Structure 1
Amino acid sequence: MAKLPFEIVFENDDFLAINKPSGMLVLPDRHDNSLSSVKGILEAAYGHIFVVHRIDKDTSGLVIFAKNAETHKYLSDLFQNRQIEKRYWGLVNGQLREESGSVMEPLSEHPVKKGTMIIHAKGKASHTDYKVLQSYPKYSLVEYHIHTGRTHQIRVHSKFVGNAIVCDPIYGDGKPVLISSLKKKFNLSKNELEERPILGRLGLHAYSLKFEDQHGTKHYLKADIFKDMRALLQQLEKNKRD
């Protein structure tokens, strides 16, 4: 098998779980039916693969794919019936007013901006629990436990709380995180004309999934955060100590 552009976190005869990089589509869209989507890449390696659920293109982290129709139906039903525990890690701007809490604001698609979500009284019920894992002067690392799986749910609920996800171009300021904004003394290296961001993409990661498969086996899958997000957290920890 050719080397895949992502890590396989878990695999058995029925399903596999991958750690999707940010910027990669789970499914090809109408403009792109090439092998640049996770499904396309997996099907080139495995043959037919069933998509169980999705995460946003800009979100990194765990995605499960079924290898057969029976497993696809079983796992899809688990997601549909909210029998899978889904946890995300998000780096947000600022410090939260509360260390933990719940957001239960209904979500609806924006009437004009297609693909964008808003909080609306007539929207679909949406439930996000959150707790702060680490707090820094300018940012916070937050764990989200989502009980529903609405489009952009965490991103909209984070904005509602008052702390948008870092680098979010839709619900936040979209600005990349620069080392110069964290360090008092920062100089570009001789070969650099401008500073490269330490994190230049959405700071949201699908971290873990907990569920029981059709054979009664319990699974607790985790996907490590990627190098860019890890480097930023290390820098924030270092600055916190200095």
Structure 2
Amino acid sequence: MRRKLDWLLKSKGIQIAYEDEDIIVLNKPAPFLVIPDRYDESIPNIYRILIGELPEVFVVHRIDKETSGLVVFARTEGAHKGLSEQFEERGVEKVYEAIVRGRPEHSDATIDLPLREKIRGVMSVDKKKGKDSVTRYSVLERFNGFAHLEVRPETGRMHQIRVHLRAVGLPILCDSVYGGGSGFYLSEVKSGYKKKVEEEEEVEEKPLIARTALHAAGLSFQHPVTGKEMRFESGLPKDMRSAIRMIEKYAGREREV
């Protein structure tokens, strides 16, 4: 049965970053759901894979379907209680990397804007009725018209990073819900780009990246049973690395003033 779980995860491109009898930390690809979809439970998700092969599995947090990277599950009720308390008390450090459109005004900034669900599955800034929401970001790389950011959410609202960055004029690349476009193509940054031609017909251009360019790169917490400090890191996936490489090559780095 253990071999079956390993095979099921591997077949979906999901890597086990760490596992013991209390917790399991996974590194997921995009697009792939962490938990069942609220409106269509038939869509494949990590929780369904785990619960089908492990005695017990408890959801502690989640990352969006189109976000890649680290996510932790509890394997016992005790571990679930301990981890949930850390998330609620903001004792868990979460680090993301994002590719955004626009020019960050500051190299380091804090976005403190309350959020609420505007319509089903879509969040918005609401200073009167929204819940407290805080996100910090630092600029890792600046390009002409784009930037590569490290993002640290201090609260855990749905779509928080995506909405906050959009609110300050930095929508995440390929975030079709919050203003980042539906795909990123080489033709957008390469001057004089020419489409490929096969048998006298133009070949439709494929996007360099077609999902929200957001990656859960770091996750730190205390082990819920042993109390040991646990730190996990995940490097940028291929699609985001490729997008950054092409942006740097053709859009160019922003000149320092």
Q: Same fold (TM over 0.5)?
A: yes
Comparing 28-37 and 210-219, the one that deviates more: 28-37
For residues 226 and 176 of structure 1, the distance between their equivalents in structure 2, rounded to whole angstroms, comes to: 16
Give the conservation status (yes or no) of the 8 Å contact 1:23–1:59.
Answer: yes
Deviation at 1:47, TM superposition (A): 3.6
Provide TM-score, normalisation by structure 2: 0.87
State the secondary structure of the residue aligned to 2:53: helix
Aligned to 1:116: 122
1:200 aligns with 2:210: yes
Q: Deviation digits for residues 19-66 of structure 1, max 9, x if unmatched? A: 122221111125544471110112233342111111112222111011
Give the conservation status (yes or no) of the 8 Å contact 1:34–1:40.
Answer: no
Aligned to 2:143: 136
Q: Deviation digits for residues 127-157 of structure 1, max 9, x if unmatched? A: 1111111111121011111110001111111
Identity score, percent: 39
Which residue identity is paired with 2:134? H
| Gapped regions of structure 2 (runs ≥ 5) | none
For residues 29 and 119 of structure 1, the distance between their equivalents in structure 2, rounded to whole angstroms, comes to: 24
For residues 174 and 109 of structure 2, the distance between their equivalents in structure 1, rounded to whole angstroms, comes to: 23
Which residue identity is paired with 1:157? H
Give the conservation status (yes or no) of the 8 Å contact 1:19–1:62.
Answer: yes
| Gapped regions of structure 1 (runs ≥ 5) | none
1:91 aligns with 2:99: yes
For residues 30 and 237 of structure 1, the distance between their equivalents in structure 2, rounded to whole angstroms, comes to: 39
For residues 76 and 134 of structure 2, the distance between their equivalents in structure 1, rounded to whole angstroms, comes to: 31
State the secondary structure of the residue aligned to 1:92: strand
The 5 Å alignment of 1:50-61 reads: 50-61=58-69
For residues 53 and 33 of structure 1, the distance between their equivalents in structure 2, rounded to whole angstroms, comes to: 18
Alignment root-mean-square deviation, CA: 1.7
The 5 Å alignment of 1:1-242 reads: 1-2=3-4, 3=7, 4=9, 5=12, 6-34=14-42, 36-110=44-118, 113-121=119-127, 122-191=129-198, 193-213=203-223, 214-239=225-250, 240=252
For residues 55 and 205 of structure 2, the distance between their equivalents in structure 1, rounded to whole angstroms, comes to: 43
For residues 159 and 76 of structure 1, the distance between their equivalents in structure 2, rounded to whole angstroms, comes to: 28
Which residue identity is paired with 1:203? A
The number of residue pairs the alignment matches comes to: 239
Which residue identity is paired with 2:22? D
Provide TM-score, normalisation by structure 1: 0.92
Which residue identity is paired with 1:201? R
